[in-house]
Amino acid sequence: MVEKIQKEQIRVEVDGINEHSSNFTEEKVVFNDFYISREKRWNLFWTSKSPKSSKIDAPFYLWNPKELSKEEKKVYVKVDCIILTYVCLSFFVRYLDYANVSNAWVLGMPEELNLAPNALVILNKVFYVLYAIFGVLGPIALTRFEPKLVLPIIEISWAIFCLLCGVASHNFKSLLVFRCFQGALEGCCFPCIHYILGSFYPHSLLSSRTAIFIASGAAGTMFGGYIQSGVYATLNGRYGLAGWRWIFIVDAIITVVPVAIIGFILPDFPNNYPKKNFFFNKREYEILRKNLAVVKNVRENKEFSWKQIKNVFASWQFWVFNAGYTLNHLPSDAGSYWGVVLEKLDYNVYQRNNIPTIQSAVNIVVTVLTGWFCDVRKKKWEVNLFVSVAWLVGLIILTIYDVPRSALFVGYSLQGFSGAASSIMVSWTNEMCRENPILRSITLGSLNLIMIIPSTPLGIFLFTTAKAPRYRAGMLYSLIVLIVSTLFTFVIILFDRYQNRIRDFYNEKVNSENQSNE
């Protein structure tokens, strides 16, 4: 018997040649220890055999799966209180910021800073470009450092530049610089949070918690206008500062006090094998790690190298999920201009501000319910198809346009289903990349980067205010892309089944050997 197995020795080939697996023990085997020939991969992809995960019974539950023990449920109550609370607060504040510049624009900012009419468009576009470009850096940093080191730096830096927008913006250039830094920092934050969720929650809980996280952003959009209106009404002129400046200042304070402080005490990831801390003891970390494992006795591949990065771009996950996420997001522009449409239809300011919140409410309810149902059913594709069909109905109404006003409102309200589609796609990405944190970090971080390449020019061309209220070309384009996105779900299903067959293959190779040795 070999006493010590080196990584290069653990090379499992399909035909049984060169199987150094007699000493497989818990946590000694990592996913890159396996070699699967191209022929075997091809067979695993095209076989009609269903993976074991598709045969698992799915009993109904409300919050935690029934198969979890009482001890496990107590552990996940802790995770919910710490991790879920933090990510929801963080995302809520980020979405408050999305409305900051637009609200400041109508509250006197262009007059005070002498801004050109197209300054708002430039500020928003530059913000989103940097948001997308820097998204990949945050999750990569989390593969090397603890979250309590990475997240507070991002949060506090963001709060500083948010504060500077309020107190140090004297002209367009200074405001643009501050917003550039905010865009870069917010871009890091979004995929970081998804990476954190995937590092604590197992498959049976990930979709529902991701949905709550996404819904908190929609809540930020929904309540942001009310919060900022209250700030303007009570603080306008205080200490010689205009009300629009106070919007940025208050947002910065909200970030630093609850969000950044919690960030400093975030626990380390279970798969980093941390020592016990204030929140989790060694036994609880073992429970988390066991439930995160996609294959028993096989741990994720943590190696960070250029070869690993090269393998990311050769993986199916990077290309398939970036394509799926982009196709999911391109049609979402159709629901973003309801306020402009209402203005063209002669609704007053109060109605223009409040009626579109119906869409945010639909977004919150549908996102949470579909995320929960994904966990209960354990089949994301079923829920994704339902969401796509409901979204399609709304887009068909908006494309036709010549319908009763109530039907038009239904069409715009149904655009709230886009949030649920995004939540499902990101949690699906998280789940299919569990074997490799480098793959998971780069793929999650690149989603917005790839999406913004076609989204920015098409959005500018198809949804200019001059084409309101009908947006004929934009609605037709959105409808066609959503049909393609719906059909693309079946492509993701093929690769999902393929990846789960690979996991079954690993499980058979490792754990059958362990059982025979016993």
pLDDT at 184 over 60: yes
pLDDT at 12 over 50: no
Same domain, 54 and 74: no
Q: What is the mean pLDDT of residues 179-191?
A: 88
| Residue 280 neighbours by CB under 8 Å, 6+ apart | 75, 78, 267, 288
Same domain, 140 and 267: yes
Among residues 99, 86, 104, which one has the least CA distance to residue 196?
Answer: 86
Contact (Cβ atoms closer than 8 angstroms) between residue 459 and residue 214: no
The span from the CA of 490 to the CA of 493, in Å, is: 5
The span from the CA of 202 to the CA of 199, in Å, is: 8
Q: What is the mean pLDDT of residues 15-41?
A: 56
The span from the CA of 23 to the CA of 38, in Å, is: 26
The span from the CA of 258 to the CA of 92, in Å, is: 12
Which of the residue ranges 64-68, 412-416, 455-459 has the most confident prediction, judged by mean pLDDT? Answer: 412-416
Q: How many domains does the chain have?
A: 3
pLDDT-derived band at 20, boundaries 50, 70, 90: very low
pLDDT confidence of residue 17: 29
Among residues 430, 434, 463, which one has the least CA distance to residue 447?
Answer: 430
Partners of 298 in the β-ladder: 29
pLDDT confidence of residue 267: 87
Among residues 444, 430, 452, which one has the least CA distance to residue 499?
Answer: 430
pLDDT at 289 over 80: yes
pLDDT-derived band at 443, boundaries 50, 70, 90: very high
Longest CA span, the chain: 82
pLDDT at 275 over 50: yes
The span from the CA of 147 to the CA of 271, in Å, is: 13
Contact (Cβ atoms closer than 8 angstroms) between residue 429 and residue 317: yes
The reply to whether omega before 469 is within 30° of 0 (cis) is yes
| Residue 21 neighbours by CB under 8 Å, 6+ apart | 10, 12, 509, 510, 513
DSSP 315: S
Among residues 226, 247, 232, which one has the least CA distance to residue 354?
Answer: 226
The structure tokens 């250029």 sit at 306
Q: What is the pLDDT of residues 446-475, one digit of tens each?
A: 998 898 888 878 877 887 767 778 888 889
Mean pLDDT, the chain, whole residue set:
81
Same domain, 427 and 446: yes
| Residue 309 in domain | no
Same domain, 229 and 248: yes
Same domain, 47 and 84: no
pLDDT confidence of residue 32: 62
**Any long-range contacts for 397-402 (C-beta under 8 Å, 24+ apart)?**
398/334, 398/471, 398/475, 399/472, 399/475, 399/476, 399/478, 399/479, 401/470, 401/472, 401/475
Q: What is the pLDDT of residues 315-357, one digit of tens each?
A: 999 999 999 999 999 998 888 778 778 878 887 766 776 788 8
Whole-number percent of the chain with pLDDT over 90: 19
Instruction: With residue 342 as reference, give the H or E element that holds it.
Output: helix 338-344
pLDDT-derived band at 21, boundaries 50, 70, 90: very low
Contact (Cβ atoms closer than 8 angstroms) between residue 159 and residue 260: yes
The span from the CA of 395 to the CA of 153, in Å, is: 41
| Residue 235 in domain | yes
| Residue 301 in domain | no
SS (H, E, C) 458-485: HHHHHCCHHHCCCCHHHHHHHHHHHHHH
The span from the CA of 295 to the CA of 361, in Å, is: 39
pLDDT at 402 over 60: yes
Same domain, 51 and 73: no
Contact (Cβ atoms closer than 8 angstroms) between residue 370 and residue 386: yes
Q: Helix 405-413 and helix 357-377: axis angle, to 10°?
A: 50
pLDDT confidence of residue 253: 85
pLDDT at 138 over 80: yes
pLDDT at 3 over 70: no
pLDDT confidence of residue 477: 92
DSSP 238: G
pLDDT at 186 over 80: yes
pLDDT at 31 over 60: yes
Determine the residue type at 115: L
pLDDT confidence of residue 8: 40
pLDDT confidence of residue 16: 38
pLDDT confidence of residue 394: 92
Residue 353's φ and ψ, nearest 5 degrees, are: -80, -30
Rg from Cα positions in the chain: 24
CA 282 to chain CA centroid, Å, is 29
Contact (Cβ atoms closer than 8 angstroms) between residue 4 and residue 271: no
Contact (Cβ atoms closer than 8 angstroms) between residue 467 and residue 239: no
Q: What is the mean pLDDT of residues 381-406?
A: 91
Same domain, 88 and 49: no
pLDDT confidence of residue 14: 38
Same domain, 518 and 394: yes
Q: Alpha carbon of 385 to those of 375, 488, 490: distances in Å?
A: 15, 10, 9
Q: What is the pLDDT of residues 95-116, one digit of tens each?
A: 777 667 777 776 778 888 888 8
| Residue 89 neighbours by CB under 8 Å, 6+ apart | 216, 258, 259, 262
Q: What is the pLDDT of residues 350-390, one digit of tens each?
A: 677 678 888 888 888 898 899 888 888 888 888 999 999 99
**Is the alpha carbon torsion for 30, 36, 41, 47 positive or negative?**
negative
Partners of 240 in the β-ladder: none
pLDDT confidence of residue 410: 93
Whole-number percent of the chain with pLDDT over 70: 85
Same domain, 327 and 433: yes
Could you tell me the CATH number of the domain that includes residue 145? Answer: 1.20.1250.20
Same domain, 37 and 76: no
Q: What is the pLDDT of residues 112-130, one digit of tens each?
A: 888 887 777 788 778 888 8
Q: What is the pLDDT of residues 219-255, one digit of tens each?
A: 776 776 677 777 777 888 788 888 888 888 888 888 7
pLDDT-derived band at 258, boundaries 50, 70, 90: low
pLDDT at 212 over 50: yes
| Residue 336 in domain | yes
The span from the CA of 384 to the CA of 314, in Å, is: 26
Residue 69's φ and ψ, nearest 5 degrees, are: -75, 170
Determine the residue type at 498: Y
The whole domain housing 499 covers: 314-518
Same domain, 343 and 260: no
Q: Is the pTM of this model over 0.85?
A: no
DSSP 260: I
Residue 298's φ and ψ, nearest 5 degrees, are: -125, 125
Q: By three-state DSSP, how is residue 291 classified?
A: helix
Same domain, 136 and 74: yes
pLDDT confidence of residue 27: 52
